């Protein structure tokens, strides 16, 4: 009874001005800071933290939080939020831009090393840049041709398999050449650059500085196949020609230059 009776005045005092005065005193005398410093000096704080982390109840509590429906719902909401999607897209685009810039710089340095006959600031694209652009375009052509071949194979499986084998091989070869030819002619005549050239920031132009016409692009495509067949020998003139022109450029009257004057 005495204990209960003594709590009444104490609680009344704490409910009035004592808590505020107590907080002011703790702040003024930096009691909490001194306690934290003492715990850190003696290592007691580290031991308390280690004991808390090693406690089975802590592990159980963490597991309950992680596996709870509320946590899963919160994670789904955060992952599906527009802010997170925009951040991921921005980071991905930024990484892709940086990677493309590194490839362009590396290719242009290699252009200068391979071709020491021209000044480093020449506007004409060198052998390394053109080779990388052509490789990227070849990969895209393969992807397009594979998609078309898969569609054709699906149709033929419904109506019957094509025979004989030599006919299938001939059709595949003709189809590959047709897809590649249309790809090059379309991009050269319509945009002055293929996707691979766009990534390397180079474009092809005719003698007047404009995009090649369709007939000129067709002629350049034919000359490209001729240049590739003998181990890409048709591109050796790039190393010696004043405007770094290969056989396709010499035949079609075109030239490949760095875009935006950043060669």
Question: Mind listing the pLDDT tens digit for each residue in 180-229?
Answer: 999 999 999 999 999 999 999 999 999 999 999 999 999 999 999 999 98
Segments making up each domain of the chain, as ranges: 2-76, 95-261
Look at residue 91 in the predicted model and tell me its pLDDT: 77
Q: Work out the burial of residue 169: count CB atoms within 10 Å of its CB; fewer than 13 is exposed, 13-18 middle, 19 or more buried.
A: exposed
What is the reported pLDDT for 159? 65
Mean pLDDT of 164-190: 89
Q: Which pLDDT band holds residue 70 (cuts at 50, 70, 90)?
A: confident
Write down the pLDDT at residue 23.
Answer: 64
Q: How far is CA 52 from CA 27, 48, 67, 241, in A?
A: 28, 6, 20, 75
Least Cα distance to 245 among 215, 223, 214, 218 occurs for 223
């Amino acid at each position: 009874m005495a204990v209960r009776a003594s709590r009444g005045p104490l609680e009344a005092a704490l409910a009035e001005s004592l808590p505020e005065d107590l907080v002011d005193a703790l702040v003024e005398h930096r009691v909490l800071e001194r306690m934290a410093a003492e715990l850190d000096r003696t290592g007691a704080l580290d031991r308390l933290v280690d004991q808390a982390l090693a406690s089975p109840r802590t592990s159980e509590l963490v597991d309950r939080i992680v596996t709870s429906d509320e946590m899963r719902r919160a994670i789904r909401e955060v992952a599906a939020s527009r802010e997170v999607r925009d951040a991921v897209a921005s980071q991905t685009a930024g990484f892709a831009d940086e990677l493309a810039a590194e490839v362009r710089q590396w290719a242009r340095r290699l252009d200068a090393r391979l071709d020491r006959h021209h000044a480093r600031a020449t506007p004409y694209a060198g052998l390394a840049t053109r080779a990388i652009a052509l490789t990227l375009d070849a990969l895209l052509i393969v992807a397009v041709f594979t998609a078309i071949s898969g569609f054709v194979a699906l149709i033929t499986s419904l109506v019957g398999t094509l025979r004989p084998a030599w006919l299938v091989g001939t059709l595949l070869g003709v189809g590959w050449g047709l897809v590649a030819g249309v790809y090059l002619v379309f991009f050269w005549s319509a945009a002055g650059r293929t996707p691979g050239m766009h990534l390397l920031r180079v474009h092809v132009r005719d003698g007047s500085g404009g995009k090649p016409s369709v007939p000129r692009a067709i002629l350049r495509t034919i000359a490209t196949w001729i240049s590739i067949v003998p181990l890409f020998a048709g591109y050796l003139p790039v190393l010696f020609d004043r405007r770094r022109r290969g056989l396709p450029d010499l035949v079609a009257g075109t030239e490949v230059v760095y875009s935006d004057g950043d060669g």
